[in-house]
Amino acid sequence: MGTPRQRYWRQTRRLTAVLLLVWFVVTFVAAYHARTLTFSFLGWPFSFYMAAQGSLLVYLFIVFFYARQQHRRDAVFGVDDPRDD
């Protein structure tokens, strides 16, 4: 299955692809269907809530999750930077 460095990069790429898919769905798929997704959500019309708040919080989560997962992966593969601890 290749060297550890190749595996590290494969896993990094997979995580990047999955998170980009989430990013695409909450941005473009949600906005494309904005006129049909109008049910009430926490007191807002759903599509308005997503564009004004929901998607933004998902973005923050994506960036947070990526930083955390990559930090763990760095340690597992021994490619972390000692100055981080």
Partner 1 sequence: MPSARQLRTYYGWFTAGFLLFVLLLGVGERLGLPRVLIGYTFLFATIGLYAGIGIMSRTTDVAEYYVAGRRVPAFFNGMATGADWMSAASFIGLAGSLYLLGFDGLAFVLGWTGGFCLVALLIAPYLRKFGQFTIPDFIGARYGGDLARAIAMGAVLMCSFIYVVAQIYGVGLITTHLTNVDFSYGVFLGLAGILVCSFLGGMRAVTWTQVAQCIILLVAYLIPVAWLGLQYTGSPLPQLAYGSVLERLAVREGELARDPQELAVRGVYQARAGDALQRIARLPQSWQDGQGAARQQIDELKARHAPLSELRVAERRLAHYPATPEDARRDWQQEANEYAARGAPLMPHAEPFWSGAADPQRAAQERDTKRWNFLALVFCLMAGTAGLPHVLMRSYTTPTVHQARKSVFWALGFILLLYLSAPALAVLVKYDVYTQVVGKHFSDLPAWVAAWSRIDPAFLRMDDINHDGVVQLAELQMGPDIVVLAMPEIAGLPYVITGLVAAGGLAAALSTADGLLLTIANALSHDLYFKMINRTASPARRVTMAKVLLLLVALVAAFVTLMRPGSIVSLVGLAFSLAAGSLFPALVLGVFWKRANQWGAIAGMLTGFAVCAYYIATRYPFFQAKLGLAPAAWAPWFGIDPISAGVFAVPMGLAAIVIVSLATAAPDAASGQFVDFVRMPDAHNGEKGESARNR
The distance between the two most distant Cα atoms of the chain, rounded to a whole number of Å, is 52
For residues 29 to 58, the per-residue mask of contacts with partner 1, x marking binding by CB under 8 A and - elsewhere, is --xx-xx------xxxx-xxx-xxx-xxx-
**Using rule CB under 8 A, residue 76 touches partner 1:** no
Beta carbons of 80 and 71 less than 8 angstroms apart: yes
Tell me the H-state helices in the chain: 4-24, 30-32, 46-49, 55-76
Contact residues toward partner 1 (CB under 8 A) are: 5, 8-9, 12-13, 16, 19-20, 23, 27-28, 31-32, 34-35, 42-45, 47-49, 51-53, 55-57, 59-60, 62-64, 66-67, 70-71, 74, 78-84
